[in-house]
Structure 1
Amino acid sequence: MTKHIKSSISKKILTITLSSLIFVQIFATIISSSYIVKNTRQNMEQEALLKVDGLSTSIRNEITYRDNIIRSIKASIENSSQNNSLTRKEILDLLMLNMSAYKKLYAVDFKEIPHGLPNLKDGESNLGTNLHGIFLPYLVRKSNDHIELYTPAEHYGDVYNNIINTGKSSGLEPYIDIETKIPMVSPTYPITINGKRVAAVGVDIPLDWISELLKKAKITENSSVSLLSDKKLWIYNRRNTSNLEAYNDPHSSLIDRSIQTHTFSIDYAYNDGNNIRIASPVKLDGFDQVWTIIVNIPNKDLNYPIYKNIAKIIIPGIILIILSTLLIFKILKNSLKEPLDHILDSVSTLEKGDYTRITADLNRTDEIGAISRGLENFRTSLLQAEKNNTLQVLEREQAAQERKRVSQQKEREEIERLNVSEAIRKGLSALAEGNMAYRIADEFPEHFAVMKTDFNAACTQLQKTIAAVQSGVVAIGAGAKQITTSSSDMARRTEQQAANIEESSVALNRVVDMVRESSNNAAQAACVTDAARKRAEASREIVQSAVNAMGEIEARFVEINQVIGLIDDIAFQTNLLALNAGIEAARAGEAGRGFSVVATEIRNLALRSTEGARNVKSLVSNSANFVTDGVNLVDRTGDALGAIFQQMNDIDHLVSSIAQAANAQSITLEEINSAVQEMTTTTQQNAALVEENTMAISSLNQEAVGLGEQTSFFRVRPHTERHKSSAHKTAHEDCIIW
């Protein structure tokens, strides 16, 4: 059999194993390389981002540090000037003190809004004040660290105008200083005293330190770092220039958008994929200016660590594959080839029909041992199959004899089943003819005996039921006749009662009509009485109003008497004055003669006023007496009307009570009348029900007769007893039919 084998299984296993190892190694290398590339690149990018963020933080902190100086100057001036206690000289000294203390400041600038500060006092120094009286000190640090004071003749600069107009801080847009040629920023703040903007103060901060900071920054080995202003001007770029050139790079639209929107972004395809460009915003606290750090990283700086790490994985993998190949070849040669040859020999022996040779390598615990044991089991099965052929011939003969015996047994059981079916058919036929006394007397085989017992028991129970139905039909007929008689009597009495109730209802209706009419008359009387009471009440109110009016008139007469008394007093005083005037005119002689005539006329008028007042007072007194008499008469009239009103009120209450009682009687009688009518209706319904019951009982009697005729078909007694019961049945027929 081995001559047909062209390639051994050991060679195939070795080939497959080596191929699998190489494939696994290549796949693991690819996965690991991908993971290494991703992680290494991410780590380097993350490290670069952290360094960029550190640069951003350093720039922001330096700008904030210098900006805090001008903030402190602003706060010192505002706090000290709240009580108008800070002079121009003190402001200048404060500016000079900060310039001396902070060496990183290039200049400090103070610009007064015209007439924002108080005017110069007598004897006050005019340092920093121009010819127009405006305080404009400008302190500049020279190269020898000497501080000089300049006083501009006029205001200048858009930054100043923007701060004065808006009240917001500004000045972080870089510019080139004319004298030093260095980029600078000038953060400037408005000064507000007592809610009014009076000046602006700012500092000039050189940005040459940013160039040194970005030159020393090492994001990667060959990277470059640049800085853009908010208006896209180069504060510092990779060409080591800082002349605030305009930014213009057509190779990276993503970075352009990041600069415009002040957001962080990374362009992985910059310069045709040879570089990575990072844009990181630098947000300056307190200002609306945002600078941007631009970082260019060559891809070779990121790829070198990746290649280095991949080489560390591939070389050990190749060595491992070679060693694994040698080891597997030796193992397969020693442990697989010889056992397989033994198995092939055993298969060849079985192929020749020799089932007595035991298979080798049965005690091995590997797959070869399992195959050997399986082959041995197969050999044992073939040997056992050969022995079983003889036994199968004997078993087939015994099976034929058993089938013959079973066939004979089935024929006997079929005959017994037919006999049982015939006996049950006869019993069912007797029941169909109405013979309830029929019973099966034949003997059934043992396994059919229960059918005989159940059939006879069912017939016995059915016989009892039919007999009970026949007896019940007779009883129902007798009871129906008695109920019919009683129902006829009840119908007669119910009709008589309905007639009596109807007559009572007619009489009660007449009483209800009379009571209703009395109630209506009482209600009308109550309405008339109530109207009279209301008119009396209105008259009483009118009289009360007249009494009140008379009282007012009496009070006015008293006031008139007081006024007349006042007029009398005035006339008396006027008379005295006229008399004194006449005396003084007489003393004056000829010069007072005209005045004497006037005094005489005034005295005459005063006498006439006194006489008229007395006459009016007399008339008023007489009228007051008449009014008093009228008040007394009106009071008496009001008392009389009050008594009449009280009597009318009592009459109204009595009539209302009568009307309410009559109304209540009318309602009660109507309820009684309704109850009587309901009794009449109920009685008539009862009479109709009695008639319906009579008809139903008659129908029930007819049904009982029909049921008796149908049950008479069944014979519930043996044939000898049937003739005895027929006479008894005839005797009861009169009770069923009427």
Structure 2
Amino acid sequence: MAPLSRNVVFGSLSTKLIGVAGAAFALILSGAILLAAWATQERVETTVETQAKTQAESIANAISAKLAEQTSGVNTMAGTITAAFNCGVRNRAMVVEMLRMNETRYPDVFGSWMQEAPGGFDGKHAPKAPGSNAEGDFNPYWTKGDGGNLQYTATAVDYTQSWYTLAAKSGKGAITEPYADSGNHKMMVSIAYPVIVSGTLIGVTGVDVRLDWLSNKLAGIRPFGAGRVMLVSGSGAWIANPDQSELMKPYAGEGADVLNAALADGQPRILNKFDNGRTERIIYPFAVPNLNATWALVVDVPEEALAAPVRHATWAMIAGGILTLLLVLGALYATVLLLVRRPMTGLLGAVETLRRGDYGRQVPGQERHDETGTIAVALEGFRHTLAEGQRHEAAAAEERRQAEQARAEAEASRMAVAAEQGQVVEALGSGLSRLSAGDLVFRLNEAFAPEYEVLRTDFNLAVAKLQEAMKAISVNTQGVRAGSAEMAQASDDLSRRTEQQAASLEQTAAALSEITATVKTTSDGANEARKLAQDAKGDAEQSGAVVGSTVKAMAGIESVSKEIGKILGVIDEIAFQTNLLALNAGVEAARAGDAGRGFAVVATEVRALAQRSADAAKEIKVLIAASGTEVENGVKLVGETGKALERIVGQVARLNQLIVEIAGSAQEQAVRLNEVNEAVSQMDVVTQQNAAMVEQANASCHSLTEEAEELSRLVGEFQIGHTEAPRQATKPAKSRIPVHAPRPPVAPKPVSRTPVPAGTEDWDEF
């Protein structure tokens, strides 16, 4: 028996059995180790979480106590103000002093304040009262600087801020969300309590508390060595965080929903495998005492604090498990070697003998009463079956040899038939090749096998019929080509004569257009002269009316001059009478002596004025007399001008009548010439259409000739043998109609400006 190969050794049943048993035992052992490690981890996590919660509770109690200390001061201050109001004491200065004392009592308090409800303190607006701002509202505010010095202001009221609305609306103490102070940008919160007297809101008092002490305190707490403690407000905003840029920003990212749930129900939450498994985060909510708010501590426990104890216990269990596994595998190997491997080696040798085709050796191990003996018995039966099969295989080989001989004979018969078919296909292929080259004279003269002879006969008949058809097409094509050439020649002659006729008509139309334009110009000139004559007549008539008006105006001026002369006579008489009165007054003043001296002076001045009026009246009278003479001369001249204008109006009227007659004659000539021009234009259009139709016919004849040439060329590609001469088409006799040269265009005559008598027409030249 040949030794077993290395692959057989490592792939043997005994090796697999040891491997499977060892793997099963290792799997069970691993499960036990994992279960123990899980129980250890659960125990460690529970312990660590309990410690973290205990520490978080301790920190929360410390924060609550610190806030409660500051809250108690605000609550006491609100209660004191309420008690004072109940006793009827509404002293602004007392409240301001109370706020100052509360500011000095707590070092972490940044500001102490009170803001009255609208008119709530005493219903008065007193700008100069203690604690009042410029509008008279009570709103005192004490703040503490970095050096501990106190500063006092009275700011404008604001009823929309949360430090006022939370306590005012709830009627209880409240704490705001963290915010940054507008002055020093420090993070702080406001704790506020309402001041309510007999159910009426008087105002809200409170303090502003800095939170830097809280951030510093939490930053120094490091749970489990590398952990950290942070704080968020009731809305989820960061109050304490090692990353200063996150302060007052909302909690975002992983675990935000868990934080909101913890703030809502007040129950702690744990975020396992936080920050990619590096941390376990514990959220511990707690109530801010007496302020109707819930904050939450966020404690990050490093994963190392949980994993280190579990890792140590796990490695110890793994070492013990490996040692146990090695002992079990050794015992298992010895057992398998005795009970499995040795019997199976004998069976493998028997199988190898059978594989080589040696069916004469008996299989060992048949005497065993276990599975190995059963396999040996089965192999023995298989040996007998293989020997019987070997005999049947020899008989089958003989049968295959006889079948191969019959197949060879059938193949020879098939090859003979294929040779005959190849001859037929080759001959038909040659004939079709000659036919595709245009050879219609070729025939298949070599005889085919009897079963294929009908193919040769049909091919020759088809080629003969195609040859006759191509001969007929060739003869007809030549006749069509000759006839189309003669039609193209005739169409060319007709087209040339039609073009000459169209050119003559076009020149005639152009001459008529020029004559029409000349007559129209004459008519337009006559119309323009008629309009000018009418305008001149109107102007002359209007000038006559103006002259008449001028004569009347001159007569009026003459009449007015006479009236002015009369008025001047009256003025002269008045001046004379005034002179006499002034003279009599002077005489009476002289008689009165010194008493009438002043009156005498006045009388002298009146007399001088009357004399000057008389002189001016005389000068005006002389000028009016001269003006009357000039006006009379102007009246005569204007009258003569009016008569001359009347004569001009008559002459212009006669001239207008003549021009109207000339314009009518020119208009009638223009209408007649227009009608003649339209008729010639219509003839020109018809001739142009005829020329276009002749061109189309000519193009069709040339196209037909080209197509006949192409058809003749295509037919010429076929070898069709001798053909009959085509019939000659009867040539039409060429027409001898003379073609006259076109007349030169008629030069337009210049329009004469000499008046033409109405009613004369000269058509001889046309």
- TM normalised by structure 1 equals 0.47
